[in-house]
Structure 1
């Protein structure tokens, strides 16, 4: 597999695509919040945020459901909103 495409090996990607947790991150001095759907559990996201805010890491690093990384400097985090896991629905009958 080509490593140039985001340097992600699909065999080692452990993100669950059927269940997504919505995460909204408010950044100081930014007019808009960052919103993403993550395959990580709500507990994993909360643990990563707590570590960043406690000073154990300088960056909050989250992976969205498509394998992209979102990096936010820990000192710029205003708030983090973690939504409930939602199961993805497919088709027109699930509206």
Structure 2
């Protein structure tokens, strides 16, 4: 699933593909925004961790799960 994170005072957003479910990402964002966690911590599909200070979060966009298409059918 694609996750886009906007960071305050940063010209570009962070984009990552994660194997975490939408509920897990939403739970992590809610904990970071409520003050329970000082960092938003997400793991991408290659196992790398992305850490963003919760006081610098501008927005988080959670995309649809990616479906890998195989074959020669119409797009």
TM-score of the alignment, normalized to the shorter chain, above 0.5: yes
Paired residues for 1:15-54 under 5 Å: 21-54=1-34
Structure 2, unaligned stretches of length 5 or more? none
For 1:88, which of 64, 68, 71 is the aligned residue?
A: 68
Structure 1, unaligned stretches of length 5 or more? 1-20
Q: How far 1:89 sits from its partner (Å)?
A: 3.1
User: RMSD of aligned C-alpha atoms?
Assistant: 1.3
Q: Which runs of 4+ in 1 moved over 4 A?
A: none
TM-score normalised by structure 2 residue count: 0.91
Q: Radius of gyration: which is bigger?
A: 1
Q: How many residues align?
A: 74
TM-score normalised by structure 1 residue count: 0.73
